[in-house]
Structure 1
Amino acid sequence: MDIKEQINSDIKDAMKAREKETVETLRFLMAALKDFEVNNQKREVGISDEEAIAVIQSSAKKRRDSIEQFLAAGRDDLVEKERSGLAIISRYLPKQMDEEEVRAIVQTAVAQCGATGAKDMGAVMKILMPQVKGKADGGLVNRIVKEVLG
């Protein structure tokens, strides 16, 4: 079962269980997937799991950004809603690497390309991103590379 089918199945299960928030979140996720299909002429072929993961990651990033903005505005009620939505969305993402795993891969990439300073960041990222794409938050990777090189 691909990701899109799994989400559809989970929507049905959540409807039966009367989990309003889960249904709402998953419907927004399905809308984002369908929007991607339409905008990229994938309607007849269907969306691949890699493309679906990219869309889901984008949705998760939007939720994280919303959480930051709501925290800054003092809207704790909306923060909780976004956090629970993020938890639901995260079920469909691959397991994320923790900071130590990312740091180890960054160290290897730095050694591999012989980077010595911030000017070599592009070369490090070129080696690094294929290894961590979809498995680690880009902001975390960027921060660790800057720490290691800076």
Structure 2
Amino acid sequence: MLRTDLNDALKQALRARDARTAATLRLILAALKDRDIAARSEGNSDGISDDQIRQMLQKMVRQSREASKTYADAGRDDLAEKEEQEIKVLQRFLPRQLDEAETREAVDRTIEELGADSVKDMGTVMNRLRTDFAGQMDFAKASKVAKQRLT
């Protein structure tokens, strides 16, 4: 279970005296605890599922990438590097992401399978991609590729 993996990784980072990894894992676990509390108030006593944890981690990766870019643009390379290190820790708990070529291939294959031929089919294509590649694809990039192919 992903929740157990996160706790075990924190213990390992603390034993190894890896402050950066430990801080990132504490950040993840704090966000997870917040989401669990919100889920319990909605009647889910077990907290959030592994899929929801992955979605949370993906969101954290996106936020760190944006922050890293902002810091780099502002000339704060030290803070940009810190964000990049956090991204590496976060990605350890996510499935391998498809690169651009693999994303284009997946979009093309999905369009062909569905017989999509216009922008009107965009929603259907994206829904299939979200189902088939949950956690493995940057859907903003996939959406751009699909839009190019369908216009």
- Structure 2, unpaired ranges of 5+: none
Cα deviation 1:88-121 (Å, max 9, x = unaligned)? 1100001112222222221122123333333432
Residue 78 (1) aligns with residue 84 (2): no
Cα 1:126–1:44 shift into 2, 3 Å: closer
What count of residue pairs does the alignment treat as equivalent? Answer: 149
- 2:135 is matched by which residue type in structure 1? G
Contact 1:36/1:55 (<8 A) preserved: no
- 1:47 is matched by which residue type in structure 2? I
Cα deviation 1:61-102 (Å, max 9, x = unaligned)? 111121222222222111100000100110000111222222
Between 117-126 and 6-15, report the one with greater CA deviation. Answer: 117-126
CA RMSD of aligned residues (A): 1.8
Instruction: Give 1:145 shift.
Output: 1.3
1:1-150 aligned at under 5 Å gives the runs: 2-41=1-40, 44-150=45-151
Percent identity of equivalent pairs: 34
Contact 2:39/2:47 (<8 A) preserved: no
CA distance in 2 between counterparts of 1:18 and 1:98 reads 33
